[in-house]
Structure 1
Amino acid sequence: MAVLADLKTLLVHDGFKRLFRVRLISQCGDGMFQVGLATLYFFNPTNMTTAAGVAAAFTVLLLPFTIIGPFVGPLLDRWSRQGVLFWGNTVRAILCLLLAVLMYLGAGLGIISVLALITLGINRFLLSALSAGLPHVVPRRQLIMANSLVPTLGAVATVVGAVIGLVVNRLTPEGPIRDASCLAIAALLLVGAVWAASTIGKRELGPDNQMKVPLSSQITEVFHDLWLGASYLAKRGTPGHALIVMAVHRFLYGVNFIALLLISRNLLTDPADADAGLAMFALLSGISLAGNGSAIVLTPIAHEKLSPWQWIVACLGISTLSQLVLIATPSLPWIGIAAVLMGLGVQGAKIAVDTIVQRDVIDAYRGRAFALYDMMYNAAFVGAAALAAAILPDTGWSRAGFTGLVVLYLLLATWYGLRNKSLGGEPRTVPEQARP
């Protein structure tokens, strides 16, 4: 298979092998962690049964990090990215174990939400460090290949962790021990990620020129750094446009994700049967993963004839088709087809966006670029939660809502295509004085 051949090509690089190992172990732990939270927030008979309730839960978990994230993201251009992976996973393992204890003891949803927020926030920071460090362990000519494989196989690892979590959840007796079991095992996996990060050299992932300034000065310069980063991306053109299309695409996908959760719980199964709703959501998520997996195969093939920006436009078209399928009927087979198309469209576009940002941004700005990436990523999902609460019924299915998403997908594809045609798909040259 082409996927195995590409992976074998990348694994000859020892640095890539070690970075890839960190991602797989870490994201497997993420999957188990997310199952633990999902059973608490979304598939507990007493919690989050309406569109507004689900939207509120996502807002609680993501909005604060959208605000706090900028104060840590630019540090990727100053701190050892290996150190970020090592200490970030260390803190996550401790928090995960603490959450397991609190859930076992029956602590309130408030303190659990705060600790879950911090854990998820660190995770987004770690994913930025993994992306910013990738060009240091893979030759430039293999970046598209790496971006096709690494994030998607990371997503596969997340699903594997989630499946293990579901099995553990089902095999554990009902009660507090069931709530805590997934998080306790996730903590052990994150300890494994700490070990994997320790095998990477402290300077191996960059930044190339580490800035030695006091932490207080770093914090006060955050807004200035982000402004410089955003200005640089806008002047370069292609990476700025890629981040915008990523954020809007994430926004539209977020509405679909919440719809899928509500459909699983309130339409395709009995709303009072939380276990059946969780099983249905796991099934549809697994089906969507088939779309993610097909992006691994199709993206490198597409790049033989299409540039990354043209593939993004094609993926937006695929996502539009998924909405047309959802408009037709809320029956399970058609929802499954839409889920596959959705997975292909969002993952294929993400691979191309990652490649454009890594390729067209110099290393001095790469950390800030991915910090802005994560800000926009989370803010888009918060916005999606608000829109989903406004347009979706509690069953999750709305013909008018999905029709509106079709229009938005088409507008986004048209805007992005025209912007890149005007640049010829190439970044603008940024004057030397505009760099730090």
Structure 2
Amino acid sequence: MGDGWNRARRSLSRAARATADAGRGTFRAGRTAVRTTARAGGGAAKGTARAGRGVRGATRRLTHAQGADRTGLGRLIELTAAHSAGDALVTVALAGTLFFGLPVDQARGQVALYLLITMVPFAVLAPFVGPVLDRFRSGRRYIMAGTLLARGLLCWAMAAAIGPADGLTLFPAALAVLVLSKAYNVSRAATMPSVLPADIGLVTANARVALFALVSAGLAAPVAAGLTVWAGADWVLRGTMVLFIAAGVGAVRLPRHVDAPDLEETEEGGAARPRWRTVLNIGPVVAEAVRANAAIRVLSGFLVLFLLFLVKDGNLRGSGLPEEALIAMLAGAAGAGGLLGAAVASWVRGRPPQVIVLVALGLATVTAAASAIFFSLWAAVGVALVAGFAQEIGKLALDAVVQREIGEEVRSSTFGVVEALLQIAWVAGGLAGLLLSLWSGRSTGPVGLGVVAAALVVALVWILLRRRRRLRDRAGVVLDVPPPSPAGPKPFTDVYPARTEDVRADGPGARPEPHRESYPESHSDGPRPGGTKPLTNPHG
């Protein structure tokens, strides 16, 4: 009995030891697996982090190249990219509320009403926002930050209004976002000369900003579309609020030399008050560039709605593609044209921006006429591509003209007027496209494009004739340069007399200030007479 009990006890002991050994083996195997998984996860995380740092580093090298890190241009590029991404997120989140689910006839009425209402913020922007920005030039960083932070709060309000379809909140908030977006663009454009590196021209710097803005918007739009389907437009707007608030903090951290003195002292010790810019006193060179860009905007607005309703009416078919695919092709062509325009503008150096604007208008005119003659789906894609290209490169050149020709004290006001005029031109083109899309039949496409091409030909000829007359009149003026006085060389105002419409009276005995258009056009985007570049940032 005792022997049997001992044998049983030894058997149980061996079984317990075997079970313990098996448990320890299992634990060791599990621990090894966990460690291996952790190492693999850590490696993947480190790889992702390294890839992220690599992308950030490559982006930083592009945005901060050629001295842009020292002057603040690199930070301004990154800030504008975030601004454009936020605008794209808002646009996609609100895109489904307009007309894509409506019948064609009802959609035309909704779009016409929307186009007319979009002129309201720009009618407000021109006479009020521009002078306010000029008046507080010493706080440009805070003005840009304020536009971004305010848009973040408005996105939160719109997110709450989308669910119950609260139009009284949603529509005014959307208009306010549009106004604030344009106010940011005006302030950013007026800031460019103060962050311009010595080795970069105005057209190139503007193109670099626009290129990164377009890329960021193009990346944000599909992300916003997917998030809208998955989580809803309200959550997209809430996420956009976070982006805008972070960008607002980044705006405050821009270099201090972005801000300029509010008031400049005249020779008599009086304060120079900012003038209100109007259509009549922006100067002949700026007016010429604005007219050319307005003609391009008419074409752009026309094509957006004319081609869209051609597709919806079934008058633009190709290869049996569905309606959504055709719209995507046309939109993709216009977006690719904008990217190409920004890329080409960053390469053209030493070219007068006035010439770039006229070349862009001529290219758009020729393409529209050719598309009217050889109308087809691919002709429509081609004219959309060229219109996007001409609009982008023409606007970048126009910005350079304003930044070069207009004084610091009224530059924001001028940009406000310019933005308003271009938006009105785009709306006029869109309304014309709506009206001509009512033409029924297969001839709708050729007739509509033929009409807009004829209008562009008239605009181009008129602009060229005025330009020729202006250059001839200027060449016929003999400048009476007096000999140097014993007190020293005469100031610049005695060599380049001011035009009567550009005289600024700051008080009794104030001297006239010459308009910057007195410079020869051969020095449009490079060093000025004397071998210096006065727009170069002194802080670089």
Higher normalized contact order (CA 8 Å, seq sep 6+, divided by chain length): 1
Matches of 1:171 and 1:394, distance apart in 2: 39
Matches of 1:380 and 1:388, distance apart in 2: 12
CA drift of 1:299 comes to 2.9
Is residue 375–residue 446 contact of structure 2 (8 Å, CA) maintained in 1?
A: no
Any idea what the Cα deviations from partners look like across 1:274-319, whole Å, max 9, x if unmatched?
A: xx76665444322222211222333355555x52222212111221
1:225 maps to 276
2:335 maps to 289
Distance 1:158 1:430, change over 3 A: farther
CA drift of 1:168 comes to 1.6
1:369 maps to 414
From 335, 342, 363, give the equivalent of 2:387: 342
1:399 maps to 446
The reply to whether residue 156 of structure 1 matches residue 235 of structure 2 is no
More helix as a share of residues: 1
Q: Compute the TM-score of the two structures, normalised by the length of structure 1.
A: 0.82
From 65, 69, 72, give the equivalent of 2:121: 65
Matches of 2:448 and 2:179, distance apart in 1: 30
Is residue 258–residue 385 contact of structure 1 (8 Å, CA) maintained in 2?
A: yes
Is residue 304–residue 430 contact of structure 2 (8 Å, CA) maintained in 1?
A: no
Distance 1:369 1:387, change over 3 A: same
> Which one is further off, 334-343 or 349-358?
334-343
List, as ranges, runs of 4+ consecutive aligned residues in structure 1 with deviation greater than 6 Å. 4-7, 425-428
The reply to whether residue 430 of structure 1 matches residue 498 of structure 2 is yes
Matches of 2:66 and 2:280, distance apart in 1: 36
> Where does 1:133-282 land on structure 2 (aligned, <5 Å)?
133-139=191-197, 142-172=201-231, 178-201=232-255, 203-210=256-263, 225-227=276-278, 230-234=279-283, 237-267=284-314, 280-282=326-328
Matches of 2:347 and 2:405, distance apart in 1: 21
Matches of 2:383 and 2:64, distance apart in 1: 29
The reply to whether residue 17 of structure 1 matches residue 74 of structure 2 is yes
Is residue 309–residue 417 contact of structure 1 (8 Å, CA) maintained in 2?
A: no
CA drift of 1:328 comes to 4.8
2:521 maps to none
CA drift of 1:154 comes to 1.5
Distance 1:307 1:395, change over 3 A: farther
1:217 maps to none
- Secondary structure, in 3 states, of the residue corresponding to 1:225? coil
The reply to whether residue 299 of structure 1 matches residue 345 of structure 2 is yes
Is residue 204–residue 347 contact of structure 2 (8 Å, CA) maintained in 1?
A: no
From 143, 152, 165, give the equivalent of 1:84: 143
1:114 maps to 172
Distance 1:248 1:328, change over 3 A: closer
CA drift of 1:358 comes to 0.7
Distance 1:264 1:401, change over 3 A: closer
CA drift of 1:395 comes to 8.7
Matches of 1:233 and 1:384, distance apart in 2: 23
CA drift of 1:95 comes to 0.5
Matches of 1:395 and 1:183, distance apart in 2: 40
Distance 1:34 1:349, change over 3 A: same
From 139, 149, 158, give the equivalent of 1:99: 158
Any idea what the Cα deviations from partners look like across 1:55-93, whole Å, max 9, x if unmatched?
A: 222222x12112221222211111222111111111111
Is residue 86–residue 244 contact of structure 2 (8 Å, CA) maintained in 1?
A: yes
> Which one is further off, 388-397 or 50-59?
388-397
- Secondary structure, in 3 states, of the residue corresponding to 1:208? coil
Output the aligned Cα RMSD. 3.3
Distance 1:334 1:59, change over 3 A: same
Q: Which amino acid aligns with 1:197?
A: A
- Secondary structure, in 3 states, of the residue corresponding to 1:204? helix
CA drift of 1:265 comes to 4.4
The reply to whether residue 414 of structure 1 matches residue 461 of structure 2 is yes
1:28 maps to 85
- Secondary structure, in 3 states, of the residue corresponding to 2:209? helix
CA drift of 1:326 comes to 3.9
Distance 1:54 1:256, change over 3 A: same
Matches of 2:465 and 2:348, distance apart in 1: 20
Distance 1:302 1:122, change over 3 A: same
Any idea what the Cα deviations from partners look like across 1:189-210, whole Å, max 9, x if unmatched?
A: 2122112112114x53234334
Q: Which has the larger radius of gyration?
A: 2
Matches of 2:94 and 2:105, distance apart in 1: 12
1:218 maps to none
Distance 1:96 1:353, change over 3 A: same
2:399 maps to 354
Is residue 293–residue 357 contact of structure 2 (8 Å, CA) maintained in 1?
A: no
Matches of 2:353 and 2:332, distance apart in 1: 27
From 417, 427, 440, give the equivalent of 1:382: 427
Distance 1:104 1:264, change over 3 A: farther
Matches of 1:367 and 1:152, distance apart in 2: 22
Q: Which amino acid aligns with 1:71?
A: F
Distance 1:264 1:190, change over 3 A: farther
Is residue 77–residue 210 contact of structure 1 (8 Å, CA) maintained in 2?
A: no
Is residue 190–residue 411 contact of structure 2 (8 Å, CA) maintained in 1?
A: yes
Q: Which amino acid aligns with 1:208?
A: P
Is residue 265–residue 281 contact of structure 1 (8 Å, CA) maintained in 2?
A: no
Is residue 250–residue 381 contact of structure 1 (8 Å, CA) maintained in 2?
A: yes
Structure 2 residue runs of 5 or longer lacking an equivalent are: 1-60, 265-272, 476-495, 507-540
Distance 1:279 1:29, change over 3 A: farther
Q: Compute the TM-score of the two structures, normalised by the length of structure 2.
A: 0.68
